[in-house]
Chain A
């Protein structure tokens, strides 16, 4: 240690660093070591893929509504489409 340090603070740090009781810490680390190494990565990747697929589907389904089109126009088009389909079925 080449830099000058305050002796009072050095003492405060030394006094604070008492040995800590284990309290199950060691056992938790060992349990973590026995977990398959990539389990978090796999879970993260699967989550990302599902999110991407869901987001793509939602984008496709909501694209027509994103355009500058009023609800009234959409309703007229929808009703027209259903009426045409029913008329087609009737013939």
Chain B
């Protein structure tokens, strides 16, 4: 990894400046972007696919695609949104390539509420796994990423009306499942 800029300067530079260096082929600058964005990207993919190992694999694929197609980035300030879209595309192409009966979703949905796992992230991911794939992606993009309905519609190629109903119904189901988990853990504590 070589760079015209010192690693200390890269670490303190604004993201747009680091992206501009990476666009010029500076691999150390891209490495800095990976360092800054990895946790966010892996968390996003964990919400979408729940399996942490798979989420990390997909995040890695998205980052490598980003490195190889960085010249397609329209603006240095749009890096985050562009990377998120790459991650969504990588995830969608993964779920389309896996037959539904072989996907983790089947196993996840069959999981009982009395699992040993605890913690906010685990509860949320278990509850998200109970939603349909389209409901889940709409909910995650709305609640995790703060995207508007129309942004979600263009990111997922789902009609706007469908996105709205997925978010409404998905949120109701997610809330109910999380409440059930909380009641369950309260019973275990009590």
Contact = CB atoms under 8 A, between A and B. Distances in A.
A20 B38 contact: yes
A12 B68 contact: no
Interface residues of B, number: 37
A30 B31 contact: yes
Nearest to B140: A13
A1 B148 contact: yes
B121 A10 contact: no
A26 B35 contact: yes
A6 B175 contact: yes
B156 interface: no
Contacts of A18: 43, 121
Contacts of B167: 3
B31 A16 contact: no
Interface of B: 1, 27, 30-31, 34-35, 38-40, 42-43, 47, 56, 59-60, 63-64, 67-68, 120-121, 123-125, 139, 142-144, 146-149, 167, 171, 174-175, 178
